[in-house]
Chain A
Amino acid sequence: MRMKLRSMLLLLAALTLFATACGGAEPSASEEAPAPEEADTEEADTDAGDTEDDDASAEAGDEGTEEPTGADDGDGETVSGSIEIDGSSTVGPLTDAIAEEYAAVQPDVIVNLGISGSGGGFERFCGTGDTDISNASRPIADDEVELCEENGIDFTEVRVGTDALTMVVNPETEFVDCLTTDEIVSIWGPDGVSNWSEVRDDFPDTPLEVFAPGTDSGTYDFFNETILEPSDIEAPRQDFNASEDDNIIAQGIIGTQGAWGYFGFAYFQENPETLKALAYDAGEGCVEPSIETAQDDSYKLTRPLFIYLKNESLAKPEVADFATFYLENVNSVIQDVGYIAAPDDRIAESQATVEDAIAEFGG
């Protein structure tokens, strides 16, 4: 009895040790990951002479269109601390790609990225104020601005890119290539049709099934605002297959004859053979969704992507440095995550905005 108890406790101890060792051994697996320090504004100012990361930073700087000048967080300086970011699931992967590049340049800065939707992000950003940056796939709403004001949070809006919403159908749906706004309203509106022959007279008798992002998604909101709101329609049809995971929507359309749906350009880009994208006729002829048509603004289902910077946080050198780095590098990573680069002059404008904000609020 005693023996058994003792050996069992030993086993328990061994298990615990094993688990702890796994957790502990992990950091040494690659290069020593220095213990992350809490945000420390003084430190970064003092070690300006530290040239450890000169090469990497300079390289990153070359890709940008403009060298940061006004800010005191110029290249070659090592910063440390953590940056809290939350918000849109659309912008999330873009910010994450920037964070990935940034980690190579500033390994001591930890970027904690949450994804709770544009609205959920603003709730934290303006409500509890515990995020430094908020990702958003739409401009901040009036009530959110009010909440920010109530809590004394000043922010700077920065445009970082463009997303093109893409309508897709099952590739076997050969008869349709382009839809007008009215036709989309007949599909997506509250009295949504269930047969393609009701969308346009010369369409054949084929059942129509709708797959679309769920009601919590910014994509859903944007589509309603762009397509339904001009016709004074408040809510779309209720009988569609909703999913928050765009891969599920893609799978549904691939597997269902006569299926129609929409999502971000990235998901079409990854399935160009199995999905067929539709052109959109906003009144000036059919325009195919593509990087070019989104950039020259001829494709009308595009939306801007933003990050919102908390001005107070720009006093932290790591946040200011990250924001500068973001705009220097965004156009070189944005295609990897399936979005469309904002025009260079638009990015330059954003850069100027950030520089001004850092000059005003920076430490």
Chain B
Amino acid sequence: MAISTPERTARRAVADLGRPTGRTFKERAFMWLLLVGTLISLLVLAVLIIDILRDGLGRLNLSLLTDYTSRFPEETGVRAGLTGTLSLMVLTPSMAFPLGVAAAVYLEEFASDNRWTRLLEANISNLAAVPSVVYGLLGAGVFVYLLADFTGGRSLLTGSVTLALLILPVIIVASREALRSVPRAIRDAGLALGATPLQVTARQTLPAALPGIMTGTILSVSRAIGETAPILVAGAVFSRRADNELWHPFEAYTALPIQIYDFVIRPQPEFAEAAAAAIILLMAILMVLNSAAIVLRNRYSRRW
């Protein structure tokens, strides 16, 4: 039961919160301020979740998942949106992940540090901050119209590519961060033993960075599937009564956030409950994704 030193320090800090043990008033006030800040954000989250659960839990049942939308709020379901979101969840990272990791490996391991590279880096960081609807406009302009012959116009593929572009910069930034945290010594050791730079990257650096890369990717996917604006602009339909399947990427598509929006704007108040139930479903999917990211990080990340 030996308590490690940092933990002991932390415990003492917490115990000191209310006690005037030589600390100045300012310091304590600052501590309380931080605590209040944390509590407020937690409180907002709790209110949000409780509110949604109260509205939607009673409406959450299997038929919500297996039925298509209906004009009767008690019979409506999100099957089309659910299959759309699940398909997007697979297609989007399968395009963004290889591209993003490749770009990160190039920038981090192979590119020489010159003005051109720095320009590239700055632009990628800027891309990560571009509002999502702009990606939707890009998707609408390029994939819906310009490349309609390849993407099928307003298709599931168009939606996936648009979302893939949206999360690509985030994946690149996260992957570079993960690669950078692999110690120089690992690479040097590999090179010293006669491995080529490519071998070192493929067999040492990249595997060591993979947990971090995966975490970043999963978190960005969970952001992407909650987005409404970009896919709505890039041709997602409001309503359809058919499933989206991975093996039919050229079909029209819809997604959970769009179905939620559809329910929210309908006049019948019972649709608000259906919307809340669909929100719970979306939150559950996001939570599964985010916990997967946490598990990955905790289990496989290593300290050097």
A-to-B contact residues, CB < 8 Å: 1, 4-5, 8, 11-12, 15-16, 19-20, 22-24, 26-27, 29-30, 33, 35-36, 82, 84, 89, 92-93, 96-97, 99-100, 103, 110-115, 128, 130, 244-247, 264, 266-267, 269-271, 333, 336-338
Contact = CB atoms under 8 A, between A and B. Distances in A.
Contact of B239 (A23, A99, A264): A99
Contact of B246 (A1, A23, A30, A89): A23
Given A29-B66, A270-B268, A336 B210 contact: no
Given A4-B300, A128-B145, A33 B70 contact: no
Contacts of A97: 71
Interface string B106-150: 000000000000000000000000000000000000000100000
B55 interface: no
Given A23-B83, A92-B238, A246 B71 contact: no
B66 A30 contact: yes
Nearest to B67: A30
B65 interface: yes
A23 B90 contact: yes
A22 B65 contact: no
Interface stretch (B6-14, B31-39, B259-267): B259-267
A103 B211 CA distance: 46
Contacts of A337: 71
Interface string B218-251: 0000000000000000010111111111101001
Contact of B86 (A23, A89, A246): A23
A267 B248 contact: no
Given A8-B211, A30-B66, A336-B71, 5 more contacts: A8-B299, A26-B243, A114-B154, A130-B153, A333-B71
B158 interface: no
B25 interface: no
A41 B145 CA distance: 25
Contacts of A247: 264-267, 272
B18 interface: no
A8 B237 contact: no
Interface residues of B, number: 47
A338 B242 contact: no
B245 A27 contact: yes
Contacts of B176: none
Given A12-B214, A29-B65, A245-B264, A22 B86 contact: yes
B90 A26 contact: no
Contacts of A336: 71-72
Given A19-B90, A26-B82, A130-B153, A246 B267 contact: yes
B178 interface: no
Contacts of B153: 130
Enumerate the 3 nearest inter-chain pairs by beta-carbon distance, A residue then B residue, closest first.
A112-B252, A97-B71, A23-B86
A84 B154 CA distance: 10
Contacts of A8: 210-211, 214, 296, 299-300
Contact of B267 (A22, A82, A269): A269
**Chain A interface SS verdict (over half):** helix
Contact of A19 (B70, B86, B154, B208): B86
Contacts of B265: 89, 244-247
Contacts of B66: 26, 29-30
A267 B267 contact: yes
8 contacts: A8-B211, A8-B214, A26-B66, A26-B86, A82-B251, A89-B265, A100-B241, A112-B240
A23 B145 CA distance: 28
A36 B153 CA distance: 17
Nearest to B295: A11
Q: Which of A15, A128, A267, A269 has the most CB of B within 10 A?
A: A15
A270 B268 CA distance: 6
A8 B206 CA distance: 13
A290 B243 CA distance: 39
B89 interface: yes
B211 A24 contact: no
B74 to A, nearest CB: 12
Nearest to A270: B267
A100 B69 contact: yes
B58 interface: no
A363 B197 CA distance: 65
B243 A20 contact: no
A16 B265 CA distance: 34
A32 to B, nearest CB: 11
Contacts of B162: none
Nearest to A243: B265
A99 B83 contact: no
A122 B238 CA distance: 17
A97 B72 CA distance: 9
B237 A112 contact: yes
B79 interface: yes
B292 interface: yes
Given A247-B267, A267-B267, A336-B71, A36 B90 contact: no
Given A23-B90, A35-B248, A336-B72, A114 B145 contact: no
Contact of B71 (A30, A93, A113): A93
B246 A20 contact: yes
